[in-house]
Structure 1
């Protein structure tokens, strides 16, 4: 991790998050913004950043819009929510927008550092309270009969593979398909299941017994 961006409107929290990032990645270069319009303007002018810590409650709207922007314009950026909110109303829209992790700012600094360090070994940065909420959601029964539309056998096959963490290229190679074809299947899967992220798709695949 060489570059980072912080979207946080409280100066004290900006400093606190900067300290967390420097403890996690000592050589990291950090840019900060305090509202959405400023963030988008700065990010548009910057080379792609490696990681972004994003607050959700901002003076000019929700940080979810910046997560969506980054996923469109800088998909390689790891977006991590840094928030005080731990309710479904905040968690799931952020994950649907493409957030790679969700950390609560009321945790000790050392716990946040440990969570961010896990990124380098492939562990999603999730506060324990958030992980518990996701697990409860994960274990809720899935009624396929009442889903918006049933998946085809090929769509189930694609879902079962991407839910295990495979990229679209890897999935295409496994199935002998073109990447664009797999992307089309994934788009249709997301539409039918009313999900917007790989994490949600994986949860649904588990409920459907595909993994």
Structure 2
């Protein structure tokens, strides 16, 4: 059972998402809130697997809520669910540790897939957002930085993460077990000093590691 928490200020959408997720096998909404004013306490109390987070909310907005949660919990999966796909919001969300960035116009069945993907370590992004991320980082003209002492194998795994592969797909591509993939990714996170796949991908682009 994937336990979900919602942050959405539109009451109709909040109720609709709650009904959709609760009505789908394998998913449960623990709680839903209209802003992130008490996000740290709420996440700590309910211990969700995945948080669906709107950005534009009264009071504490989604980006600030994301920062607050990440300051105390690096592990909970946080998906930004928003109407905004502009560079500023995308960059702020990824830079502050969002695990994915999806648009509200996403079809319901796809939304459930995204939640599952995030819960298992993926970094789901709506196609238009992923395109923006690629353009955003390719436009950065930083000189090639240090390689963070990644092994050739770890660089190969990181390249596949950048290419959008899931853990299962990486295992298949490299002919290794999923546990081995997880071990490689854990070491990559440690060497890059990041806490999520989206942060690792962002750093790979920024520092031209792969």
User: What is the TM-score normalised by the length of structure 1?
Assistant: 0.71
Report the 3-state secondary structure (helix = DSSP H, G, I; strand = E; otherwise coil) of the residue aligned with 1:49.
Answer: coil
In 1: Cα distance, 2:186 partner to 2:103 partner? 36
- Partner of residue 42, structure 1: 42
Match of 1:197 among 199, 204, 210: 199
- Partner of residue 157, structure 1: 150
Residue-by-residue CA offset, 1:89-127 (whole Å, 9 max, x unaligned): 111101111000111002222332233333366542211
- Partner of residue 21, structure 1: 21
Cα deviation for residue 85 of structure 1 reads 0.5
- Partner of residue 114, structure 1: 113
Cα deviation for residue 63 of structure 1 reads 0.9
- Partner of residue 192, structure 2: 186
In 2: Cα distance, 1:80 partner to 1:56 partner? 10
Unaligned runs of 5+ in 1: 175-181, 191-195
Residue-by-residue CA offset, 1:31-71 (whole Å, 9 max, x unaligned): 11112213333224x14210000011111132112212222
Do 1:48 and 1:74's aligned partners in 2 also have CA atoms closer than 8 Å? no
In 2: Cα distance, 1:124 partner to 1:49 partner? 17
In 2: Cα distance, 1:70 partner to 1:24 partner? 27
Report the 3-state secondary structure (helix = DSSP H, G, I; strand = E; otherwise coil) of the residue aligned with 1:157.
Answer: coil
Do 1:8 and 1:35's aligned partners in 2 also have CA atoms closer than 8 Å? yes
User: What is the TM-score normalised by the length of structure 2?
Assistant: 0.71
In 2: Cα distance, 1:43 partner to 1:121 partner? 19
Structural mapping, 1:40-189, within 5 Å? 40-44=40-44, 46-119=45-118, 122-140=121-139, 142-144=141-143, 150-151=145-146, 155=148, 157=150, 160=155, 163-164=158-159, 170=184, 183=190, 186-187=192-193
Larger radius of gyration: 1
Do 1:7 and 1:54's aligned partners in 2 also have CA atoms closer than 8 Å? yes
Do 1:163 and 1:201's aligned partners in 2 also have CA atoms closer than 8 Å? no
RMSD, aligned α-carbons: 3.2
- In structure 2, do the counterparts of structure 1 residues 141 and 94 end up closer, same or farther at CA, with 3 Å as the change threshold? closer
